[in-house]
A and B are shown apart, each in its own frame.
Chain A
């Protein structure tokens, strides 16, 4: 064994002085690609994710407000359009009021009759001969000490 072979190489000798080879370049077959992905630390992936989230959060409030405003605006326009259409086809107010009063009176009358009928039904339930609630008390008619 020669001296050269027994002693490990010096530090300077380990450094690659080849200027054409890039530092990140690695022989393809020596390490699989997935392992290189795994080498990324969890803290790093989190960091990128959180950065994305922050970015997204930073963008979210602005677009949400815009959408709300847009929605409200569309709603107002629709309502105004409907009001406009209704006003064109609206009946004269007096006629409308009369009709409304008639309908209310009809409903009230119907409700009155319905109320009366329901009360009568209650009375009829109480008049059921099968369910009379005042029978003679269950007493002993012959209490004696013989």
Chain B
């Protein structure tokens, strides 16, 4: 009787933990899922490299089959990682502020096209285990990879510029509030500070306008992405100006 009770308690305990673990796992965020999938992909890639090495070394039927299975595995994993990556970009874009709706919609459209292509690609991989067929499918991916990279790059650039624009808009709105408050509490004349702040705001606004012009070119034909791939170099001056302006507003607010 006692041993029966113990067994029952053990089973119930195991059941409880497995359900809890399952619930925790089910609550993973998309970012966590993406990270896990990336780890799985990297492991699959390592396994493929080993299998490919063995195939190249031995050339046996067994090594060919093993290599084919590993390449199928890693190609599937790669497609899955990209699907999740584009999903995350889409979620960020939908929530982002500071981006014109037309730009947003166009970029989301392109992301969804990429997602569709990847889904079809995965389906093709699942249908075959033949080495040559898998090589052909892999070639198709290689041809499409440049487009996929451009879509990703464009989306991340759009998100970054949107964040800078959003921050500029907020600083522009609050600087008036800060001056109004400072003037009402003290007898100090803030005209010099206002002029200085206006100068930097105007310069930042001009920089953002130029960036948006370049982005517009990229929206119409994303292959000719206006902003260079050296994103940091192009957007850093704008970012630095925003830092300066925000610092001025902190000073005026007496913080």
Contacts and interface: CB of A to CB of B under 8 A. Distances in A.
Interface in A29-50: none
A142 B138 contact: yes
A17 interface: no
A141 B181 CA distance: 57
A142 B167 contact: no
B85 interface: yes
B174 to A, nearest CB: 6
A134 B71 contact: no
Interface in A46-104: none
Interface residues of A, number: 30
Contacts of B67: 145
Interface residues of B, number: 61
Interface in B49-87: 52, 55-56, 64, 67-68, 71, 74-75, 78, 81-82, 85
A137 interface: yes
A126 B163 contact: yes
A35 B92 CA distance: 96
Contacts of A110: 181, 253-254
Interface string B164-191: 1011001100100110010001000000
A84 B92 CA distance: 65
Interface string B148-164: 01001101100110011
B246 A137 contact: no
Interface string B241-255: 011001001100111
25 contacts: A106-B185, A110-B181, A113-B174, A113-B178, A114-B253, A116-B174, A120-B174, A120-B246, A124-B167, A129-B235, A130-B236, A134-B159, A137-B38, A137-B41, A139-B78, A141-B141, A141-B142, A143-B74, A144-B71, A144-B138, A144-B139, A145-B55, A145-B64, A145-B68, A145-B131
Interface of B: 38, 41-42, 45, 48, 52, 55-56, 64, 67-68, 71, 74-75, 78, 81-82, 85, 88-89, 92, 131, 134-135, 138-139, 141-142, 145, 149, 152-153, 155-156, 159-160, 163-164, 166-167, 170-171, 174, 177-178, 181, 185, 231-232, 234-236, 239, 242-243, 246, 249-250, 253-255
Given A110-B253, A138-B42, 12 more contacts: A117-B246, A117-B255, A120-B171, A127-B163, A129-B232, A129-B234, A134-B155, A136-B153, A137-B41, A141-B141, A142-B142, A146-B135
